[in-house]
Amino acid sequence: MKVAVVGATGLVGTIMLEVLEERNFPVSTLYAVASEKSVKAGKEVMFKGEKHKVVGMQDTINNKPDFAIFSAGGGTSTEWAPAFAEVGTVVVDNSSAWRMDPTKRLIVPEINADVIGSDDKIIANPNCSTIQLVMALAPLHEAYTIKRIVVSTYQSVTGTGVNAVRQMKDERAGVEGERAYPHPIDRNCIPHCDVFMENGYTKEEMKMVNETRKILQDDSIQCTATAVRVPVMGGHSEAVNLEFEKDFDLADIHQLLSETPGVVVEDDVVNNVYPMPRYAEGKDDVFVGRIRRDESKEKCLNLWIVADNLRKGAATNAVQIAEFMVEKGLVKSQGVGA
């Protein structure tokens, strides 16, 4: 397979290259795509022990890659994804550009990969916070039917990008530098992820609401979210309260989540075992713990969900989509490129 990674020099793009290599995705030719500025600067990336010079968008399109995995922002995806699709390339896009387009699939492979068809040329990768949320919720919704979700997120600075990581490191070192946030992030919590909308919620919060309904294929689910940026690296954490149509047994919840592919239950409070972003970093699983009844209301459950937002929340999920399409024969190689 000829594979293009668009945004290859960015934080998520770098992880995408690592995941492609780790999972031994069948890459015959790699196109590391970056901005014209990076191309002119002669930037390089490493893949399978070899250096690859970054290349431009149009040159890559001319080579007709089989897959183009995008992590370069919504504007870039809106402009260039259709051009890739036109030459037969399957685009897996990590931005929010196509997620709520009713003609595009929004995919978490463990949940709804079966809806992908050979005609789908632009496939949306969900928001990182949404991915880890629905990984835990999908089996519970199937068993008990979720009526309402209340979720509060504690999101890693890596979700904002390399500039945010630099800001936090600068602050910890006492160095004045460029800010990614309107306030200091070290020793602080900022209840502001993405831009504010007219309804008072941020775009990140509304992504979780709308994407969750689309992935679980149930618009009747009531959902409300509060997204908070916290001074950690390693992953996003979520405190989740669920209200079900049917009652449940806690032992059954434990068993159901334990049997869900891609989900790991860490829930032994007697021995201080629960998910934490420090230990989720670099892993592809979604970790669930603090599983307990909401004693203030019937048929309600509390969960604590943690995952590495750069891996399962972005890069790994995107590569898994490509793997599924190859496995099911939905993508045929267009020939070995230069």
Query: What's the rounded Cα separation, in Å, for the pair 262 and 254?
Result: 14
Known catalytic membership, residue 236: yes
Query: What's the rounded Cα separation, in Å, for the pair 148 and 244?
Result: 7
Query: What's the rounded Cα separation, in Å, for the pair 188 and 185?
Result: 5
Map 18-75 to HEC letters.
HHHHHCCCCCCEEEEECCHHHHHCCCEEEECCEEEECECHHHHHHCCCCEEEECCCHH
Query: What's the rounded Cα separation, in Å, for the pair 215 and 112?
Result: 7
Helix (H, G, I), strand (E, B) or coil at 225: strand
Burial annotation 208-245 (CB, 10 A radius, 16+ → b, else e): bbbbbbbbbeeeebebebbbbbbbbbbbbbbebbbbbe
What is the bridge-based pairing of β-strands 2-6 and 29-33? parallel
Catalytic residue among 141, 223, 236, 300: 236
Within 10 Å of residue 328's Cβ, how many Cβ atoms? 13
Query: What's the rounded Cα separation, in Å, for the pair 165 and 54?
Result: 23
Catalytic residue among 52, 128, 141, 223: 128
Give the DSSP per-residue string, 313-336. IIIHHHHHHHHHHHHTT-------
Known catalytic membership, residue 128: yes
Q: Could you give the residue numbers annotated as active site?
A: 128, 236
